[in-house]
Amino acid sequence: MAPGVAAPAGPRPARSPRTADGPARSADWLRIAALAVAAVAAVVAGIAFTGAAAPTALRDPGALVRWGLPIASTGAELAASATLGGLVLLATVLVRRDEAVVRAASGITAVAAAVWTLTAVVELVLTYANVAGLSPTDPAFGGELGQFVTQFELGRVLLFVAVAAAVVTALALMTTSPVGTAWVAGLVLVALWQSAQTGHAAGAASHDLATSSMFLHLVGAALWIGTLLALSPLAHRLGADLAPAVARFSVIAAWCFAAVAVSGTVNSIIRLGSWDDWTTRYGVLLLVKIALFGVLGLLGLAHRRRVVGRLAGDDRAVGWLFWRLVLVELTVMGAVSGVAVALGSSPPPVPDDPITDPTPAEIVTGHLLPPEPTTLSWITQWRWDVLLASAAVAGIVVYLRWVLRLRRRGDTWSWARTASWVTGMVLFFWTTSGGPAMYGHVLFSAHMVEHMILAMVIPVLLALSAPVTLALRALPSRATRAGAGRGAGRGAPDASRGPREWLLGLVHSRLGRFFANPVVAAVNFAGSMVVFYYTDVFRWALTSEVGHYAMVVHFSLAGYLFVNALVGIDPGPNRPPYPQRLLLLFATMAFHAFFGVALTTGDVLLVPDWFGLLGREWGPSAIVDQQRGGGVAWGIGELPTLALAVGVALAWSRDDERTARRRDRKVARDGDTEMDEYNAMLARLAQRDVPGTVEPRAPREP
Ligand code: HEM
């Protein structure tokens, strides 16, 4: 037991969570200090081991820069993690019924963001000193640094991250609401995306894959370490609300563990060319990292098995174990972050040098031309997109977990819907990482196949699997849970937002209802095709990763909202009567056909400096292929729309049957009041037509 720190017990009953006493506060600092010391020790040891900080023969910036830079980078990684973690605590993890706790969490987040800003600025300055081989004390340093941050990609990215950190600091002080902190967390993700574009991932080796997997890696690591790091100094204030917060963190940690493992494996495959490379200093350091990751996994398991479910009780032993685990976990997290930066600063076995003598396709797309497409190659050719592939796998895991949850409590869920969802996700996986993605980069017609499957085929499968309905049935509501007087006895409902509350918020938000509106969905679905192909958006989607993801997300969502408005099961849009739905559908079909014909008959090549410069020796010319793409848009586009029309007609007839059955039941129960009223009206009309009779007044409505 560390001297001077009282053994922190489990949640102390009947104690206000407002303030953390002396021993608790010093224990907080002990944990943060343990993380920081482990991180610095690990990065220094890692760098010393790989020799990444050895003096350079030419233009040596000096030891301060060579050793200071990796330490500053580690500090920036951890501070960015704590910032993201603090924002996630406020957005969804913390139980919200005590303003003092919310303010404390916001304070911790702002401090973390301020440290991030500082370390990001130091990292920027030392990076330039290291790149230029110039000591920061050199008189010319300032001027050159100015050029670095304005004229060089790396400088601009590092400046962007530092500015984003400063903006996050200010915003973290101003907003504590779940929605506000979620938006600020979005800005942190943008900064992490920029960070993922630097380092070895910026090199040529599998660039797209390297940056997207690095992004998943950085987010997974930051969320995992950051949430625990931000929770630790707060935990003493939470009292009985610590247990639900730890349980929610545990779910996040499990997903982060999976994300870090998958992306780490991909990073390793990119950086290591062969098994022998594991014996290099880089390889050995990576093995150390994987071992530390394994230790973290075991600690997480111990949490789950021994702490999470029992923290709500007053068992001091559990509380003691919890704090011990947190201290060890944060220390190991510090160490693995240090090793990570040492790895990022050391030359990997597979050099990330620019491609020498690139082919035209490599110059334009960054990739070699795939082989001529055959039926088989559409199945065998893969260009992995870690983010989208992980999203598809996560989509299947989450949906099946919800179905199992319903089953476990005795509720049923149609297997057809489950099969439809899984098929949709598998198709998404293939469309974004398989043949369509591979050929969609070099053939307009293949790009159109990718687009049509994303916007037309997959949404039909997803809309018919009613994911929102399932989610709302499977996910617990935060408000009802807290009211149950779980030890807190305080009974105030938990105003925090869990997955269920966020989903409901999204579906019922003004924006959600606007885009779910059937007319808006139809215009968005059909109109965005013209905007996409006949403006520079198409070029953006081809030439930048962000553009590519924006395209995939937009077309998938636009398709889902359109299909859901017509034949969906999920709540949300006010669906128009069936005749109008059919009208909307035929109008969209006509528009689609018109778009297809325009492409088929068009003779102006879209994005000519892409499709025209690939040096493709197989297949039709670029313009002929584009015209074929028009045929694909028409062909693949119309089939699902036709299926939708059949779907609407079937739903219509089923609805009619339901109405008829309802009416029959009412007639059987109350007699045919409608017919009676109708006959009475006819009688009155007949009466009126007899000459000389006074028209009796219709009885007044009660
Ligand atoms: C909690 C565990 C982990 C954390 C916190 C973590 C964190 C990080 C960070 C921050 C970076 C970027 C370093 C930089 O460029 O400055 C990184 C890179 C990397 N990580 Fe991890 N990582 C973890 C687990 C893993 C695992 C399990 C693997 C392997 C399976 C892995 C493989 C890699 C590789 C290969 C890189 C690229 C390094 C380079 O740029 O050369 N990481 N990691």
Mean pLDDT of the chain, nearest integer? 88
Same domain as 365, residue 244: no
Helix axes 545-567, 622-670, angle to 10 degrees: 30
What pLDDT does 357 receive? 85
In a domain, 248, yes or no: yes
In a domain, 678, yes or no: no
| Nearest of 641, 645, 517, 522 to residue 578 by alpha carbon | 645
Nearest-CA residue for atom 28 of ligand 1:
264
| Nearest of 507, 469, 451, 512 to residue 640 by alpha carbon | 451
Same domain as 397, residue 336: no
Over the Cα atoms of the chain, what is R_g? 31
Could you give the CA distance from residue 621 to residue 443 in angstroms, rounded to a whole number? 10
Which one of 127, 260, 290, 295 would you pick to mutate in the ligand 1 pocket, going by the greatest count of ligand atoms within 8 A of its CB? 260
> In the structure, what pLDDT confidence band is assigned to residue 315 with cuts at 50, 70 and 90?
low
Q: Which two tokens stand for residue 383?
A: 């260009």
> In the structure, what pLDDT confidence band is assigned to residue 16 with cuts at 50, 70 and 90?
very low
For the residues 200-222, what does the mean pLDDT come to?
87
For the residues 507-527, what does the mean pLDDT come to?
91
Nearest-CA residue for atom 20 of ligand 1:
264
> In the structure, what pLDDT confidence band is assigned to residue 463 with cuts at 50, 70 and 90?
very high
In this predicted structure, which of 486-490, 531-535, 653-657 has the lowest mean pLDDT? 486-490
In a domain, 441, yes or no: yes
What pLDDT does 93 receive? 96
Work out the percent of the chain whose per-residue pLDDT is above 70: 92
Rounded distance from Cα 267 to ligand 1 centre (Å): 8
For the residues 476-491, what does the mean pLDDT come to?
62
Q: Which two tokens stand for residue 631?
A: 């045929």
The answer to whether 453 touches 431, Cβ cutoff 8 Å, is yes
Same domain as 413, residue 310: no
Could you give the CA distance from residue 475 to residue 583 in angstroms, rounded to a whole number? 36
Indicate the residue type of 403: V
> In the structure, what pLDDT confidence band is assigned to residue 635 with cuts at 50, 70 and 90?
confident
What pLDDT does 489 receive? 53
- Quick one: CA dihedral 432, 436, 441, 445, positive or negative? negative
561: pLDDT strictly greater than 90: yes
Last residue of a domain, one of 312, 345, 378: 345
Which ligand 1 atom is at minimum distance from the Cα of 293?
2
The answer to whether 453 touches 436, Cβ cutoff 8 Å, is yes
Q: Say how many Å lie between the first and final Cα of the chain, rounded.
A: 82
217: pLDDT strictly greater than 80: yes
Same domain as 311, residue 381: no
Residue 116 exposed, middle or buried by CB count within 10 Å (0-12, 13-18, 19+): buried
Same domain as 389, residue 316: no
- Count of helices and strands (H, E) across the chain: 29, 0
Could you give the CA distance from residue 515 to residue 519 in angstroms, rounded to a whole number? 9
Rounded distance from Cα 291 to ligand 1 centre (Å): 12
Nearest-CA residue for atom 32 of ligand 1:
264
Indicate the residue type of 581: R
What pLDDT does 598 receive? 92
The answer to whether 425 touches 415, Cβ cutoff 8 Å, is no
Give the binding-site residues of ligand 1, using a 6 Å CB cut-off: 73, 77, 199-200, 217-218, 221, 225, 260-261, 264-265, 267-268, 271, 286, 289-290, 293, 296, 336-337, 340-341, 343-344, 348
The answer to whether 24 touches 236, Cβ cutoff 8 Å, is yes
Same domain as 241, residue 149: yes
In this predicted structure, which of 80-84, 508-512, 642-646 has the lowest mean pLDDT? 642-646
The answer to whether 309 touches 11, Cβ cutoff 8 Å, is no
> In the structure, what pLDDT confidence band is assigned to residue 5 with cuts at 50, 70 and 90?
very low
59: pLDDT strictly greater than 90: no
In a domain, 91, yes or no: yes
Q: Which two tokens stand for residue 480?
A: 């009802």
155: pLDDT strictly greater than 60: yes
What pLDDT does 444 receive? 96
Question: What is the torsion angle, in degrees rounded to the nearest 10, for the CA atoms of residue 133, residue 139, residue 142 and residue 148?
Answer: -30
Could you give the CA distance from residue 702 to residue 700 in angstroms, rounded to a whole number? 6
Residue 689 exposed, middle or buried by CB count within 10 Å (0-12, 13-18, 19+): exposed
Nearest-CA residue for atom 2 of ligand 1:
293
Phi-psi region of 695 (alpha: psi -120 to 50; beta: other; left: phi over 0): beta
Same domain as 207, residue 105: yes
Nearest-CA residue for atom 43 of ligand 1:
340
Which one of 257, 263, 267 would you pick to mutate in the ligand 1 pocket, going by the greatest count of ligand atoms within 8 A of its CB? 267
Contacts of range 430-437, beta carbons closer than 8 Å, 24 or more positions apart = 431/458, 432/385, 432/388, 432/389, 432/392, 432/552, 433/382, 433/383, 433/384, 433/385, 433/388, 433/389, 434/378, 434/379, 434/381, 434/382, 435/373, 435/377, 435/378, 435/379, 435/381, 436/378, 437/383, 437/385
Rounded distance from Cα 676 to ligand 1 centre (Å): 78
Which one of 130, 214, 277 would you pick to mutate in the ligand 1 pocket, going by the greatest count of ligand atoms within 8 A of its CB? 214
Q: Is 177 helix (H, G, I), strand (E, B) or coil?
A: coil
Last residue of a domain, one of 345, 375, 406: 345
In a domain, 351, yes or no: no
Same domain as 341, residue 213: yes
In a domain, 675, yes or no: no
Same domain as 619, residue 564: yes
What pLDDT does 322 receive? 80
Same domain as 396, residue 325: no
Rounded distance from Cα 107 to ligand 1 centre (Å): 29
What pLDDT does 23 receive? 66
State pTM to two decimals: 0.89
For the residues 503-529, what does the mean pLDDT come to?
91
Nearest-CA residue for atom 17 of ligand 1:
340
Give the tens place of pLDDT for each residue, 377-392: 999 999 989 999 999 9
Nearest-CA residue for atom 26 of ligand 1:
264
Could you give the CA distance from residue 546 to residue 535 in angstroms, rounded to a whole number? 17
Same domain as 218, residue 124: yes
Same domain as 387, residue 319: no
> In the structure, what pLDDT confidence band is assigned to residue 15 with cuts at 50, 70 and 90?
very low
Which one of 161, 343, 350, 353 would you pick to mutate in the ligand 1 pocket, going by the greatest count of ligand atoms within 8 A of its CB? 343
Nearest-CA residue for atom 9 of ligand 1:
340
C-alpha atoms less than 13 angstroms from C-alpha of 169 in its C-beta half-sphere? 17
Domain hosting 625: range is 360-479+495-664
Work out the percent of the chain whose per-residue pLDDT is above 90: 62
For the residues 543-549, what does the mean pLDDT come to?
94
What pLDDT does 331 receive? 92
Q: Indicate the number of domains in the chain.
A: 2
Angle value at C-alpha 534, between 533 and 540, nearest 5 degrees: 60
Which ligand 1 atom is at minimum distance from the Cα of 199?
15
In a domain, 602, yes or no: yes
In a domain, 391, yes or no: yes
Nearest-CA residue for atom 42 of ligand 1:
264
In this predicted structure, which of 85-94, 140-149, 318-327 has the lowest mean pLDDT? 318-327
